[in-house]
Amino acid sequence: MVAIMEGSYTEEDSNLITGEFCEKISMDFTKCKQVTLTKDDNIISYSDIGDFVELGDPIVTIDTSGAFEDKDSDTEDDLISKLYTDLDSDVVAEMLYQTPKANLTGTITDIKVYWTCELNKMNKSIASFVRKYIKRIRAEITEEENFTGKPSPKRVLIEKTKIGNKSANPRINGAVIDPKGGILIEFFISHNDVMSSGDKISLNSSLKTITAKTILDSKMIPYTESGYKLDGVFSWISAGARMINSIWYQFIGTILYKFSKNTAEDFLKEIGEEVPKNPRKV
């Protein structure tokens, strides 16, 4: 329930809404961040499922320069130590510049991987990343098939992706990839968007306003005289400033205009005055 009430929070076509209402109209949405690699690249580190990332945070650190080579020890600590101690500063700067970054603030809820060559042809770090992905999906497949008793359609997710070579720019899910040794990683980042100050909302038909204030304290929530809790408050200015309010308002307005025009013309004729030719002057 909303109401019209003037206040500092309704100036300049704005509104006030409650925190409870903000939660009711919150929305979960997910964005996909695609990262394409070649079989010769090195994955130094990456964000995993369940990790929280902010917009612009690196989600995977990659060496595409060829300056970083796999060693016998391939633990993450050893890789990062090698990266920041032995490599030239210009190489490190170039790697950081090319580092894929999160396109949304939220939590990584899923990772999907597609590859176009055999694992034994990949760089050790990329092959290890793909094997970890296959292990996770295979566990999901086993659980699903044990429950349903039928082959899972997810089986295609643990196989090499087949793409045509006829196209000049072969693609997987829209991303250009090397058909002879390309890897596509898709990070799915989810975020719960809650209405807050500065967001736009329509509290009535054709009544778009900007939220100036949100009330989080339940004791400060506005009520009607009869005790009904209000979800939002907006100004009469917001309603009156709209170009189109309602077809019924327009219909009534047209009737009132014509009635007042006819009344004015009859009055001028009655007192002997000339009726203006321009109807707008009546």
Tell how far CA 161 is from the center of its chain. Answer: 28
Neighbour count for residue 137 (Cβ, 10 Å): 18
Which is nearest to 20 in space by CA: 169, 269, 195, 240? 195
Please give the model's pTM, rounded to 2 decimal places.
0.66
* pLDDT tens for the 282 residues of the chain, in order: 887 777 777 777 788 888 888 888 888 889 999 999 999 988 888 999 999 999 999 999 887 765 555 554 455 555 545 554 555 555 555 555 568 999 999 999 999 999 999 999 999 999 999 999 999 999 999 999 999 999 999 999 999 998 866 667 889 999 999 888 899 999 999 998 888 888 888 877 667 788 888 887 777 788 788 888 888 888 776 776 665 556 565 666 677 778 878 888 888 888 888 887 765 544
